Amino acid sequence: MNPDTSKYAHSEEAKHIIKQNEFFHEENRKLRDEIADQKNQYDILENEVESREKQVTYMRGLLKNFIAISEQEKDLSDCKENKIKMEVKLSQLRRSNHWILFQTIWLQFISIALSVFFARFTHFMSPLNVLTTLFAINAITTKLADKKNREFLEKEIKLHEELTVFQKKNNVLVNEIVDIRKACDFLNEYVDAL
């Protein structure tokens, strides 16, 4: 080794350069560690933001489902209200049928009473006239009773058909609400897991 070189290696400038190099090396290492920490924090924050975005998306889905449930329950309430109205009409129709039945029985009673009444006067009238009168009275009362019964049956069939439609609509709405609630439960569990 050259004595000038060794002298240079131990000089103050060399020591200063070595110290500066070590300082910058240490500073560089600290900055790299700091950059790595910042990158880790950035990744954590990015994952949290992604998780929050998923939560917001699923919460929007939940909100839509809750609105749909509210609308379906309103429709279901309207459907039940209409069904109750139809059942009241059917009940009123049945009560009126009891009245019609009473009138029919009353007409038949009158028919029998008139038959007995005219039968007592057979010695004043010819039997053919009495028989014709009795037949006419019976035909009229039977025709009135049949007409009333037919009207009642037509109304009752119509109301039963309307009730069946309301019941089917009611069942569809209930099933839709159940499906939406199941979806809400799933979304709630998923959001909670996030």
192 and 100 fall within a common domain: yes
- Asked if 83 and 163 touch (Cβ cutoff 8 Å), the reply is yes
- Asked if 193 and 106 touch (Cβ cutoff 8 Å), the reply is no
Tell whether 65 is covered by a domain: no
Tell whether 39 is covered by a domain: yes
- Asked if 58 and 187 touch (Cβ cutoff 8 Å), the reply is yes
Tens-of-pLDDT digits for all 194 residues of the chain?
444 555 555 688 888 889 999 999 999 999 999 999 999 999 999 998 888 888 888 778 777 877 877 887 787 788 778 777 777 877 777 777 677 777 777 777 777 777 677 666 656 667 677 677 777 777 877 787 778 778 877 877 887 788 788 788 778 877 877 777 777 676 666 666 65
Structural domain including 45 reads 4-8+11-60
Number of independent structural domains in the chain: 2
